[in-house]
Amino acid sequence: MNKIGSFLATIPWRTFSSLIRYNLKVVFGNKFVYFLGASLIFYLLITSISFFSKNSIATVEGVYYQLMFPAFLLIFFPTTYGIQNDEDARILEILFGIPNYRYKVWLVRIIMTLFMVFWFIFLMANLSSVILTNVPTWQITLRLMVPVTLFGMLGFCFSTVVKNGNGSAVIVVIIGLIVWILSEFISGSSWNIFLNPFDMPGNMSEAVWATVVGKYQRTWLIVAGIAALWGLLNLQQREKFIK
**Exposure b/e, 34-72, CB count within 10 A at least 16 = b:** ebbebbbeebeebbeebeeeeeeebebebbbebbeebbb
Does the pLDDT at position 212 exceed 80? Answer: yes
Percentage of residues in the chain with pLDDT exceeding 90?
Answer: 12
For the stretch 188-205, pLDDT in tens is 788 888 888 888 887 778
| pTM listed for this prediction | 0.79
The more confidently predicted of residues 81 and 206 is 206
Look over the chain and give the mean of its residue pLDDT values, rounded to a whole number. Answer: 76
Does the pLDDT at position 4 exceed 50? Answer: no
Does the pLDDT at position 23 exceed 80? Answer: no
The more confidently predicted of residues 21 and 224 is 224
CB 27 within 8 A of CB 4: no
Does the pLDDT at position 185 exceed 70? Answer: yes
